[in-house]
Structure 1
Amino acid sequence: MKATTNTNEQDILSKVPAVTLSFWIVKILATTLGETGGDALSMSMNFGYLVSTGIFAGIFLIAVLAQIAAKKFHPLLYWTTIIATTTVGTTLADFVDRSLGIGYAGGTAILICLLLASLVLWYRTLGSIAVHTVKSPKAEMFYWVTIMFSQTLGTALGDWTADTAGLGYTGGAIVFGTMLVAVAVAYYQTNISQTVLFWAAFILTRPLGAVVGDFLDKPIAKGGLNLSRYTASAILLVLILACIFIFPQKPAKKGH
C-alpha cells in the first residue's frame, strides 16, 4: 500500500512528461513550429526581431507561471510552454546574431556558456537535473530557463550550420539527425548517464527543428521549399495536437 501511495504522489507532483518516442516526435514538431512561427511574426508580419522577442517573451512568461501554478501535469499547457520557448528562442537568437552583429558563431558561443551555466547552477543548487525531479517551483524555474537557453542556442547553431558552415538546410538536417541517432544508440548500448543523454538529445532537437523550419519556408533559390510560414505553422500545430491526443502522455517518473 505504501509503494502505491508513493507512486501516486510521484504522478501528482511531476508536471513534465515521461520521455517516450511520442515525446521526441512532438518536441521536434514544436521546435520546427518555433522556427516558422517566430519567422512569421518577425519577418512576414514585419515586427522585427526585437519587438517579436518582446511579444514571445511575454507569452513565455505567462505560460511558465501557469505551468508552475498548475497542480499536476497538463499536456496542452506543457507543450504550449515549450512552443513559447522555441518562438522566443528563434527571434532572440536572430536578434543577437543579426541585429547586434555578433554573428552565428559568436551567438552560439555565448549561448553554450549560458546553457552550461544554467545546468551547473541547477545541479549545484538542487543536486540533480533529471527530469523526474522537476517537482518544485525552484526546479521548474531552472528547467524552463535551461530549456529557453537550449532553444535559443539551437536556432543559432542551426543557422550557423546551414549558412556559415555552408551545409544548407538539408545538410544541417542530416548532421543533427545523425547526431540524434548517435545519442539514441548510446542510450541503449552504453552506460552513459541517461540524464546527460536526455539533455544532449533535447538540445539537438532544436537545431534540427531550426533547419527543417527554414527548409520549409525559405525561398527555393536559397535551398528551401518557399512554403507560406503561416501554412507551415498551421500544419505543424495540427500535427502536434494530433500527437498529443492520439498518444496520451503521462507524467515523468523516476527512471524515465
Structure 2
Amino acid sequence: MQENRATAPLSKVPEVTLGFWIIKVFATTLGETGGDTLSMTYDMGYLASSLVFVVPLVALVLLQVRARGFIRWLYWATIVASTTAGTTMADFATRSLGIGYLGGSLLLGGLVLAALLIWKRVTGTIAVESIVSARAEWFYWITITFSQTLGTALGDWAADDGGLGYLGGAALFGGSLAALEVLRRRSPVSPVVLFWAAFVLTRPLGATLGDFLDKPLAHGGLDLSRPWASSLLACAIVVMVAVLPQRAGRHPG
C-alpha cells in the first residue's frame, strides 16, 4: 500500500485539509470585496469588471494546466481570480440582466450541476484526487468558476431576499458547512459529493462576510473601505499560503 501511494501520480491541486478550507474562505471573501471594488467603488460596472477579471483568470488557468506539478502560489492565485470574476459575473446576471438573486442562483446552480455531470461522463470521476490530466483540470476550473459565481448569487439571496442580513447569512452557510463535516464523519454519503457541496457553500459564506465588511452601517455592514479590506485579506492569504502546510493530492491509484 505504501509503495502504491508513493508511486501514484501527483495532482496539481492540494490535498483537502483544514488549511485548504481556511484559505478558501478568505479567498472567497476577498473575491467579494475585490469584485465590488472594481464594479462599485471605481464604478466600472459589472460587465466591464467581469471582462477585466476574466482575462487574468484565463491566463492563470492556462498556466495551471501547463504546470508540471502543484505550485501553491499559482493554484491560490487562480482560485482568487475565479472568485473575483465570479462576483462580478453573478452581479451582472442577477442585477444587470434582471433575473434576481433567486433566478441567478437557479441558473448558476444548473450550470454547476451540468459541468459536474459532463465531467463525470467524460472522465468517469469528479473526485479532485483524480485530477492528473489536462482534460480533468479544465473541467475542474470550469466547475470552480461556475461554483464561485453561484455562491455570490446564493449569498445575496440569503442576505437580502431571505432577510437574514450579512451575519445571519454567514451563520447559515457556516452552520451548513459544519453539518457537512458531521455527515462526512458519521454518514455513508459520498465524500466527493460532500466536497463539492462544501466547495459551493464556502463561496456564499465568503460573500456574506465580504458584504459585512464593506457595506454601509445602515445596511448592516461595517462600512470599511473596499480597497483596504481587499488589501488586508490579500495579505492574510499570502501569509497563510506561505505558512500553512500544503502538498499535492495523490491519485488513489
TM-score by length of structure 1 reads: 0.96
1:97 alignment partner, one of 86, 94, 98: 94
Q: CA shift at 1:248, angstroms?
A: 2.6
Cα distance in 2 for partners of 1:135, 1:123 equals: 15
User: Do the aligned partners of 2:93 and 2:104 also contact (CA within 8 Å) in 1?
Assistant: yes
**Residue 211 of structure 1 pairs with residue 200 of structure 2:** no
1:197 alignment partner, one of 175, 194, 211: 194
Structure 1's unaligned 5+ residue stretches are none
**Aligned 1:1-256 pairs, distance under 5 A:** 4=3, 7-11=6-10, 14-254=11-251
Structure 2's unaligned 5+ residue stretches are none
Give 1:10's aligned amino acid.
P
Give 1:165's aligned amino acid.
G
Return structure 1 stretches of 4+ with deviation > 6 angstroms.
none
Give 2:183's aligned amino acid.
A
Give 1:77's aligned amino acid.
L
CA deviation digits over 1:199-237, x for unaligned, max 9? Answer: 010000000000000000000000000001111111111
CA deviation digits over 1:134-180, x for unaligned, max 9? Answer: 11110001000000000000000000000011110011001000000
Cα distance in 2 for partners of 1:46, 1:34 equals: 17
Q: Across the two proteins, how many residue pairs are aligned to each other?
A: 252
Q: CA shift at 1:62, angstroms?
A: 0.3
Q: CA shift at 1:4, angstroms?
A: 3.9
TM-score by length of structure 2 reads: 0.97
Cα distance in 2 for partners of 1:160, 1:6 equals: 43
Give 2:15's aligned amino acid.
A
Identity of aligned residues (%): 54
Cα distance in 1 for partners of 2:18, 2:111 equals: 28
SS in 1 for 2:76: helix
Q: CA shift at 1:245, angstroms?
A: 1.1
SS in 2 for 1:16: strand
Q: CA shift at 1:95, angstroms?
A: 0.5
Q: CA shift at 1:3, angstroms?
A: 5.8
Cα distance in 2 for partners of 1:69, 1:201 equals: 27
